[in-house]
Amino acid sequence: MTQRLVSGLSKKLRPISDSKIRWGLEHNFSKCYHKYRGHLFCLECGHKWKPELEVKQVVCPSCQAKLKAVKDYKSYMQYREYFAVLQVVEGFQVVRMVCVDKMLKMNKKTHAYGKEVMQHWIDQKGKAVTLSIGAQGMSASCDQWAWGTTMEVRGSTSYKAQYRHNISPAVTYPRPEILPIFKRNGFKGDFGHHSPTMFITELLRNSQMETLLKAKQHGFIDLLFSSGISHKMWPSIKICIRNKYFPKDSKIYADYIDLLIYFNKDIRNAKFVCPKNLKAAHDVLMNKKRKIDDALRRTRDIERKKEQAIKAKENEEKFLKEKAPFFNIRFSDGVIEVVVLDSINEIMKEGDTLKHCVFTNQYYAKEDSLIMSARVGGERTETIELSLSKLQVVQCRGRHNISTEYHDQILNLVKSNIPKIAKVSRAVKRTAKTT
């Protein structure tokens, strides 16, 4: 019933006037120029001239427009923006959305136009009906309008449609017509950067929104729309309102309140909830919590290592049985010495020293892998995993899995001594067959 009523009323509205569209174009777009090969090109009227002097403010000699330099100029540039016109019709708050396009090209006069593309009809209970012209369904853009279509009631089931119906205008036409109930709730025609429909309906449905708007707490309004305001945080915000405290960053403030709650501070005390330096107060608590988290993480790491050590001990017998024949293998080129790691404990030390996962990922349990340590001056330098079946180096890793300056030299040393490892491997296989 409401949709039929709104559809009928919409057809009786006067079209958006040319003067309003000119206003929208003027307040949405800057007038620009482009500099090319020593000449200036006015992208408003198409005039070209060579300036005699460098000046801060460029004025076109032809149309007298004050111009700004366009960034990243291309052969053809198109801009699109929206502005809103607010009207009151038969007890409805109507937000009329006008799309304005502007095309710029050197040596050409600006081509600009505007057209009404959407209407939001909002009743005094906060229910909204949206009408719009059609849009290209296969387009990647949500606002690729089908200009020849008529204004109709549209659904908002798809993601694109929902996004399209919540387009926020860059500016609102001055002297808006506003229903008394919205004025009573603190609305004066400025949506900020929010969707008009969401802004007005939230104002009617949410008492927090009304309180924040009347208190001019626009930062908290942004927070309300982006992530919401929890019931735990609301008392602190009311203290901010009473103390006329306006945090510069509402997101940081929300994190700060969460930190106060974490440390059991009184979030109803202005001393805590209205800090003189929000960032400094936030950082103090954040660093304190980080230390606690680090300590808990270290405790968990210790517990995990204990569990891994217990599990490794259970695998020790199997490891020794499989890898013991290789323990005496070691070779050196005078600078680098490579040794086979002969216990799970040694593999754990290797992983802890070089900060990689040779122990935590249980490479000792791989039957086909032989784990060796390359050392320079007695210091663990890189860890080598060698495949016993293929007799190839699988990986060779330094600290934090980063190769060292000795990496290529280590690989060459291992490859040149693979015959020693192969000899032991063949002996192990012969023994296994006889047993």
| Mean pLDDT on 402-410 | 93
Nearest to 99 by CA among 115, 120, 77: 115
Confidence band (pLDDT; 50, 70, 90) for 191?
Answer: confident
CA-wise closest residue to 256 among 239, 237, 281? 281
Q: Name the residue type at position 143.
A: D
What is the reported pLDDT for 158? 66
Q: What is the pLDDT of residue 1?
A: 62
Within 10 Å of residue 8's Cβ, how many Cβ atoms?
Answer: 10
Q: Give the span between the Cα atoms of 275 and 202, in whole angstroms.
A: 29
Which of 302, 327, 396 is closest to 356 using CA atoms? 396
pLDDT at res. 159: 66
d(CA 201, CA 329): 78
* pLDDT at residue 198, as a whole number: 85
Q: Residue 143: what pLDDT? A: 83
CATH 3.40.630 in the chain is located at 318-434
pLDDT in tens, 114-170: 999 999 999 888 888 999 998 887 776 788 898 889 999 987 666 667 788 888 898
The predicted pLDDT at position 157 comes to: 63
Q: What is the pLDDT of residue 301?
A: 83
Average pLDDT of the residues in 2-28 = 91
Structure tokens at 252: 């940081």
pLDDT digits (tens, 9 = 90+) for 210-247: 999 999 999 999 999 888 888 899 999 999 999 999 99
- Residue 335 pLDDT class (50, 70, 90 cuts): very high
pLDDT at 260: 94
pLDDT in tens, 265-315: 999 999 999 999 999 999 999 999 999 989 998 898 888 878 877 777 777
From CA 265, how far away is CA 257, in angstroms rounded?
Answer: 9
Structure tokens at 58: 């460029």
Q: What's the pLDDT score for residue 156?
A: 67
Sheet containing 336-340: which strands, arranged edge to edge? 330-332, 336-340, 369-376, 379-387, 392-397
* Torsion angles phi and psi, residue 123, rounded to 5: -90, 180
Q: What is the pLDDT of residue 22?
A: 92
Architecture (CATH level 2) of domain 318-434: 3-Layer(aba) Sandwich (3.40)
Share of the chain above pLDDT 90, in %: 45
- Give the model confidence (pLDDT) of 178-188 as tens digits: 889 888 888 88
Is a pLDDT exceeding 70 seen at residue 435?
no
Looking at every residue in the chain, the average pLDDT score rounds to 88
